[in-house]
Amino acid sequence: MPSPDITAKKSRTRSDYVFRQIYRTRWFDNDMYAHLNNTVYAMLFDSIVNTYLIDRCGMDPFSMNNNDKDKSAAPVSNQVAIMVNSYCDYFASVSFPDVLELGLRVAKLGSSSVTYEVGVFKEGEEAVKVVGGYTHVFVARETMRPTRAGMEEGTRRELEKLVVKGIGNGAAKL
């Protein structure tokens, strides 16, 4: 019998996610079984999370190695985000040339850390195919350690917008 957590994830809908993006799949994504390889979902999780961090939270991976990016969109952060763990549940498969809709929410917001959840949908279909995500810890760029004050205030404010009240990982729904 699936755990309450899995049952809850399997019932996700697009409206459970605040921030959404559409990604076209690629030929190379399909593996020998003619379905998207599991690692492709993780590549897409990285993409929607980093889009949000760069566009909304002032994360600036580019300044670490070049100077040709326009940083006017948001004040640049002095922290970087380190991935400490990741997880993924696979409910059904998709294939190139499917077009995917991804949704991002914050499942847990700590002092220095955030756990994202991403849902993967296929254009034109209701049922969620894959739900996964990872935990980021925000650390100071110089020390690579979390700071006493936790993540920067601007980052926290933007991540709070991705917390969806009333949906949890299962237990909260019982």
The residue ranges that bind its own copies (CB under 8 A) are 21-28, 30-34, 37-39, 42-44, 46-47, 50-51, 54-55, 61-62, 64-66, 69, 80, 82-90, 95-97, 132, 134
Burial of 24 (0-12, 13-18, 19+ CB in 10 A): exposed
Q: With respect to its own copies, which residue has the nearer C-beta, 68 or 153?
A: 68
Q: Are 59 and 129 in contact (CB under 8 A)?
A: no
Please report how close the Cβ of residue 24 comes to its own copies at its closest, in angstroms. Answer: 5
Please report how close the Cβ of residue 119 comes to its own copies at its closest, in angstroms. Answer: 15
Q: With respect to its own copies, which residue has the nearer C-beta, 51 or 169?
A: 51
Q: With respect to its own copies, which residue has the nearer C-beta, 1 or 34?
A: 34
Of the chain, the end-to-end C-alpha distance in Å amounts to: 16
